[in-house]
Every structure is written in C-alpha cells, then in structure tokens.
A = this chain, B = another copy of it.
Amino acid sequence: MPKFQGVVPPVVTPYNADFSVDYSSYTRVLEHLIGGGCHGLFVLGSTSEVTFFDEATRRKILEHTVKVVNGRVPVITGVLDPATDRVISHAKVAQSIGVDAVVATAPFYTITSQSEILEHFRILRGALDLPVIAYDIPVCVHVKLARQTVVTLAREGALAGLKDSSGDDGNFRYVLFDLADDKDFFLMTGSEIVVDSVLQMGAHGVVPGLANVDPHGYVRLWDAAQKGDWTAAKKEQERLCRLFEIVWVAAGRVSGGATGVGGFKTAMRSLGIIDTNAMARPRQPLNDAEAKGVDDILRAVGLK
C-alpha cells in the first residue's frame, strides 16, 4: 500500500480577531483530527487559506504542526504559489522542517500549458528530496492536469501522488487504471460528497475539508470502505453530505472562497474546537444568522 492513504484532512488555520494565526486553537484542531483517527494531515492546502500567507507565516505554521504532531501521523504540506521557483523555495523550507511530502499545483496567474506543467513538475522533482504530490484544482488554478500529464510524470518518478479536487471523477478513474501497476503511486480525492464512490473506484485516500468538522465521520466512512461494506459507507457519506450543506449557508452573501471555509470555521467554533470564525482578509466571516443556520445543520446530523 502507498505510504499516504486514508483520511488526510486539509487542516483549517484558525485566526484571532486581529487576523493573526491563533496557535492555541490550531493545536486543538490538530489534536481533534489526530484524535478523530485521521491517517495523515495536509497542512497549507487551499482550506488552510495558504495563498493568503507569507513565507514567515507558512514556516511558523509548519514548525508548529511538526512539533505538535510529533510523528504520530504523516504530515504533507501545500507549497502553493504562482510559479516554479517560488514553489521550490517553500518546499525547501518545508523539507528542512521535516514534513513527509509536498503538494504543488500547476503554475497559476500565468497562462500555462500541459507541456509547461510537465516541465514545472520535473524541475520540482530535480530540486527536492521529498515526495511531490500534484494538486489538481481547476477552480482555483484554471487549468486541469490532463490524464496524460499525470501519468507521464508518475511513470518518470516525478510525482508520488495526485490530490484531485477537479470534480472529474471519470478522469480520476482513468488515471487509476493507467497507474494500476504502480504500487507506490497514490491517488486521493478532494471531494467531500462522493467519497464512497471514489473509494470504490480504488482511490487510496481522501482529503475532505469537512473532516475538520467531523473527522470521525470520514474515518467511519473509510473503515467501512476498507471492509467493503458499501452500504455502511454510503450511509455515512449521506450523513456527511447533509453536514456539508454548512458550506452553502452564506452562499451569495460572501464570496465563493469564503462560503466554504467560513462554514467549516463557524461549525468548528460552535463545536468548541476553535475560538473565532475569522478568515484571512478580505474574506468576510459568516454572521450570526448564518451561524444559527450552521448550528441547525450540526444538530440535524447529531454533532450538537
């Protein structure tokens, strides 16, 4: 089995009211996730609001994470920034701090191409001494990692895995087929709501932002899938789908970026995991009426 597998949540970064990182709450988040049975942690992913952080903040978050986790589960980290050399720079810091793997997107802001993406990941591979995982998230990067791009890079050894947040589960399935004989390469889905389906296809792991709110639910789903009990997996998934509706409570009022993370943070505050539901500027947090809507959902699924 691949080294990275199972439930690997993209960890939320709690904020103080002054927009600094609330490390006390952050520690609680990490313990909440490890205690919830998660098999690994993905820090500095999109859900962490990483692209809002400068280098010093990223470093401090990583150092704090590695210290708190202390080897209990693997830690993988996003090294998200617009272009290759900046990604390498983040990755070298991460490497020095002692994470287990890095996760990189294609270049963004710039208009790129599949051949440039191949070059990008080959350069990363040549510059780094730890596994590189490709992150496919077209809604943010505005390019899709083509099936052939991922397979080529996997065959060359440039990529150790894929985190697929593209929503294109049919394509994901073909990548699984193409790399079925590669026992080391792992494929993870970023979905929260079709995890049972993607695990049944053969995915090695799942990276659901919603696990910040309910890690136990995703671990139960994973365990059911491991046993081949697809009925139980489906039942748990359906409960989590109901919970996932917290991400739409503020839809329309706040931005598409704020509604999801804002829903997670508001639920986590309500459950006592973090102290505020503040997000990085200029994101607007959920208001009291929306927080009440989140609470209604938490109660409906038995979390409150």
User: A: which residues have CB within 8 A of B?
Assistant: 19, 46, 49, 51-55, 80-86, 89, 107-113, 115-117, 119-120, 123, 139-142, 167-170, 173-174, 177, 191, 193-194, 196-198, 200-201, 228, 230-231, 234, 238, 241-242, 254-258, 280-284
- Contact across chains for A112 and B169 when beta carbons are under 8 A apart: no
Given contacts A241-B173, A254-B116, contact A282 B123 (CB under 8 A): yes
Q: Which 7 A-B pairs have the closest CB atoms?
A: A197-B197, A111-B256, A113-B255, A119-B282, A51-B82, A52-B83, A110-B257
Which has the most chain B C-beta neighbours within 10 Å: A85, A123, A231? A85
User: How many copies of this kind of chain does the complex include?
Assistant: 4
Closest chain B CB from A92 CB (angstroms): 12
Indicate which residue in B80, B84, B255 contacts A112 across the interface (CB closer than 8 Å): B255
Query: Would B52 and A19 count as touching, CB distance under 8 A?
Result: no
Contact, CB under 8 Å: B255 / A82: no
Residues of B within 8 A of A193 (CB): 170, 173-174
User: Could you name 9 residue pairs across A and B whose Cβ atoms are closer than 8 Å?
Assistant: A51-B109, A82-B82, A82-B109, A83-B280, A112-B255, A115-B284, A196-B200, A197-B200, A230-B230
A89 CA to B110 CA in the complex, in Å?
21
Report chain B residues within 8 Å CB of A116: 254-255, 257-258, 282-284
Inside 8 A of A117's CB, which chain B residues have their CB?
Answer: 282
Do the beta carbons of B200 and A173 come within 8 Å of each other? no
User: What distance in Å separates the Cβ of A285 from its nearest Cβ neighbour in chain B?
Assistant: 12
Interface contacts beyond A80-B109, A194-B201: sample of 15 additional A-B pairs, CB < 8 Å, sorted by A:
A51-B110, A52-B86, A82-B109, A84-B281, A107-B282, A109-B141, A111-B257, A113-B254, A117-B282, A119-B284, A123-B282, A173-B193, A173-B241, A177-B242, A194-B197
